[in-house]
Amino acid sequence: MSTFVQDKVVVVTGAGSGIGRDIARAFAAHGASVVVNDLGKDKETGQPTAQQVAEEIRRDGGTAVAAVESVSEWAAAHRIVQATLDNFGRIDCVVNNAGIVRDRFIFNMSEEEWRAVVDVHLNGSFFMTRAAAQHFKSQQGGSYVHMTSSSGLFGNLGQANYAAAKLGIVALSKSIALDMAKFGVRSNCIAPWAWTAMTATIPADTAENLVRIDKLKKMESAKIAPLAVYLASEQAGHVSGQIFGARGNELYLFNQIGIARSMHRGEGWTPQTIADHGMPAFEASFARNAPSMAYTPWDPV
């Protein structure tokens, strides 16, 4: 067993399956004690999936407990952190991975579909962050690893709720990195590419989606875990406020929003001078209006 994060105590949300399960198992394999959080249940046995994953980790010689709670509730998030403290006496890292999808084109999306996705992804990430923040502050150290998405960074069809929440997580992470830097607390994002139960909801109804699904099926969720483990380790002590990506055997570092061009007009602007001079100067620097898969057209390696 590796000791890369030896004696660290880590909470992984949404760890009952997919990327979260692989991250939880990787942390345990590298020496951490893991709190496996998930609200889901096995369809066949009815057993909480968090308990199943915690048992898998223990069978492999690791240390883990389950926390069957919903991150989308303030009190439940605090109970997850308290369970971590009760079992292990400290908390060193929160991996905000829990998520759901309710894909729908914007003109058909319901209030419930919007709120459900934002509650789990964005509110859940904040609730877990807030529940751990005071402990990180007191101990002068800690790490947050948040899962964002290419849907949030680039945009995607039929995912306004998911994309808005995932880009909101980027802003949340940046704020955490700024607010807590003086306490030795770090915060980073990972945009994962992987075939999981969540991405399996992509409808195979267009040629574009069929190509996307075929590529996703080649991307193993376990390939995301090493980056998450690294970001929680002491070796990443200088890394904060960044956005990374993991796709198969590729790692990415994303740039962040900055001013692309500027124009000055001493007498100020009118709608007509913007049309005549301002916008033509900006157009060469416009961002692409294309779905996320257009940004990684090559096959995963």
Query: Which runs of E-coded beta strand occur in 97-220?
Result: 142-147, 185-193
Residue 121 lies in a domain: yes
Residue 262 lies in a domain: no
Average pLDDT on 74-98 reads: 98
Average pLDDT on 29-48 reads: 96
- Express each pLDDT in 103-151 by its tens digit: 999 999 999 999 999 999 999 999 999 999 999 999 999 999 999 999 9
Q: Is the pLDDT of residue 8 over 90?
A: yes
Check: pTM over 0.85? Answer yes or no: yes
Q: Is the pLDDT of residue 209 over 80?
A: no
Residue 294 lies in a domain: no
Q: What is the pLDDT of residue 220?
A: 87
Cβ(171)–Cβ(215) under 8 Å?
A: no
Residue 267 lies in a domain: no
Q: What is the pLDDT of residue 202?
A: 64
Q: Is the pLDDT of residue 76 over 60?
A: yes
Residue 211 lies in a domain: yes
Q: What is the pLDDT of residue 194?
A: 80
CA distances from 199 to 16, 41, 86, 116 (A): 15, 19, 35, 17
State the burial class of residue 207 (Cβ atoms within 10 Å of its Cβ: 0-12, 13-18, 19+): exposed
Non-local CB neighbours of 59 within 8 Å, separated by 6+ positions:
none
Q: What is the pLDDT of residue 172?
A: 98
- What secondary structure, in 3-state letters, does 114-127 show? HHHHHHHHHHHHHH
Kindly indicate the confidence band of residue 297, based on its pLDDT and cuts at 50, 70 and 90: confident
Residue 281 lies in a domain: no
In the predicted model, what is the mean pLDDT of the chain? 93
Q: What is the pLDDT of residue 215?
A: 67
Q: Which residue has the higher pLDDT, 81 or 204?
A: 81
Count of domains forming the chain: 1
Using DSSP bridges, classify how beta strands 33-37 and 63-67 pair: parallel, antiparallel or unpaired: parallel
Q: Which amino acid, 292?
A: S
Provide the Cα torsion 273, 276, 282, 284; round to 10°.
180
CA nearest neighbour of 4 among 227, 177, 219, 234: 234
The residue segments making up the domain with residue 29 are 9-257
Residue 288 lies in a domain: no
Kindly indicate the confidence band of residue 1, based on its pLDDT and cuts at 50, 70 and 90: low
Of 17-26, 69-78, 191-200, 290-299, the poorest mean pLDDT is in 191-200
Q: What CATH number did the domain enclosing 59 receive?
A: 3.40.50.720
Kindly indicate the confidence band of residue 199, based on its pLDDT and cuts at 50, 70 and 90: low
- Express each pLDDT in 156-189 by its tens digit: 999 999 999 999 999 999 999 999 999 999 999 9
Residue 104 lies in a domain: yes
Q: What is the pLDDT of residue 110?
A: 98
- List the catalytic residues: 162
Average pLDDT on 221-234 reads: 96
- Express each pLDDT in 241-280 by its tens digit: 999 999 999 999 999 999 999 999 999 999 999 999 999 9
Q: Is the pLDDT of residue 68 over 60?
A: yes
